Amino acid sequence: MNKPVLPVSSLSLKLPKADRSIETYRLAASRTFPAKLEGTLNRVAFSAAHVVADPLAALDPWLTAAIDWDRTIAFREHIWDLGLGVAEAMDTAQRGMGLDWPTSLELIQRSVKAAKARGNALVFSGAGTDHLAPEDAKTIDDVIRAYEKQIAAVEKAGGRIILMASRALAKIGRNADDYTKVYERVLSQVREPVIIHWLGDMFDPALANYWGTPSLDEAMDVAVGVINANAPKVDGVKVSLLDKQREIDMRRRLDRNVKMYTGDDFIYAELIAGDSEGFSHALLGIFDAIAPAASYALSRLAAGDDAGFHDVLGPTVPLSRHIFQAPTRFYKTGIVFMAYLNGHQDHFTMVGGQESTRSTLHLAELFCLADKAGLLANPELATQRMKAVLATRGIES
């Protein structure tokens, strides 16, 4: 496993540099990873999965989302084959950033149906308030009713809940009491324990001052208080603050029956490995792009091969940091570009036209980092597709 299968100099292409020069880049030796999970896992690991847009739909992509349902579900089958769970209809799928609630619900329904057809493959789905425009939320009860509507729809479909952060609540919630009221009312009604998602404003600027305060220390106190007071209703919490120490501190404060799911796409390997006082499970957008490597690394960790875990997952971190660099909300472009390079879709088209949110230089560096980490499943195909994208931007190989 993970033996080089290509000579180092077998493939090359021309890539742009920041000084506007063009360099010849030679691909590194490839690594191969199993297409299905080998062994077992001792961490719960979700991939927040993207959707595949339909590039031939006769509509304006900035205004209407068109989904290639067959390819979208096929990608989820790929994730499940690797032993990972699917975190459905999250911001990775451009939820609230091109993908509206009706389309998100259809995505959830299709994904849950596909999971059940496999014998209940692991899938949790996002329930939030995004059908309620923040400016239309006048009271805390409006936010509660919005959550209740989406939770009921997901549960009717047979799905488990990821309780997403609410832009409407961020707009009108004034203090810890407002947040506590919303979460306690909502949690009291769910059928099964949920995953609470605390999404930082680096991912969505509309979520600034979440939990009713600009102080992250105070926000942490509020969040931990709500979660621990309702622990029987909480499977776990996903923290997306890109702050390793805050995640570790929160993990150590949680009720012992509540899991921590790392959402830190900058330093996930260390957080998943853990320390003498505990570890994080995973619910990560980057696991969409690196699923085969993540699956294999996690299987090595479960087998007691810590060195093997870090050998595989460690080299993926520079790629993830690049994909999630500021403005972090544009990370979805890199996720979909990786899916295109690796043959999971035949085009580089995104919901909302967001293939345009990253520069040519960004995509070129992404290609190099993916290559160095051994993440190009078929280097010949990836090179051909990279050349095709570059040609549309004036760079001929």
Q: Mean pLDDT, to the nearest integer, of 29-55? A: 95
% of the chain residues with pLDDT over 90:
94
Contacts with 356 (C-beta within 8 Å, 6 or more apart), sequence order: 333
Any domain includes 389:
no
| Predicted pLDDT at 396 | 86
Band of residue 7 on the pLDDT scale cut at 50, 70, 90: very low
Any domain includes 13:
no
| Predicted pLDDT at 8 | 46
| Predicted pLDDT at 5 | 45
Q: Does residue 178 surpass a pLDDT of 80?
A: yes
C-alpha to C-alpha distance for 279 and 231, rounded to whole angstroms = 18
Band of residue 61 on the pLDDT scale cut at 50, 70, 90: confident
Provide the CATH number for the domain around residue 316: 3.20.20.70
Q: Does residue 356 surpass a pLDDT of 90?
A: yes
C-alpha to C-alpha distance for 87 and 285, rounded to whole angstroms = 9
Any domain includes 328:
yes
Contacts with 33 (C-beta within 8 Å, 6 or more apart), sequence order: 1, 2, 292, 293, 295, 296, 312, 374
| Predicted pLDDT at 29 | 77
C-alpha to C-alpha distance for 360 and 312, rounded to whole angstroms = 27
Chain mean pLDDT for the chain: 95
Q: Mean pLDDT, to the nearest integer, of 294-305? A: 98
| Predicted pLDDT at 134 | 94
pTM: 0.94
| Predicted pLDDT at 9 | 44
| Predicted pLDDT at 10 | 79
Q: Which domain holds residue 176?
A: 38-343
pLDDT, tens only, 363-393: 999 999 999 999 999 999 999 999 999 999 9
Any domain includes 384:
no
Q: Hey, what are 325's tokens?
A: 């660099």
Query: Taking CA 327 as the corner, what is the angle to CA 224 and CA 310, rounded to the nearest 5 degrees?
Result: 65
Q: Mean pLDDT, to the nearest integer, of 166-188? A: 97
Any domain includes 316:
yes
Q: What's the number of domains the chain is made of?
A: 1
Q: Mean pLDDT, to the nearest integer, of 179-207? A: 97
Any domain includes 31:
no
Q: Could you tell me the CA-to-CA distances from 281 to 18, 81, 125, 129, 229 in Å, in that order?
A: 37, 19, 17, 26, 21
Band of residue 6 on the pLDDT scale cut at 50, 70, 90: very low
Any domain includes 382:
no
| Predicted pLDDT at 352 | 92
Classify 214 as helix, strand or coil: coil
Any domain includes 267:
yes
Closest CA relative to residue 42, chosen from 282, 258, 257, 249: 282
DSSP per-residue letters across 122-161: -EEEEE-STTS-GGG--SHHHHHHHHHHHHHHHHHTT-EE
Whether the CB-CB separation of 292 and 374 falls below 8 Å is answered with no
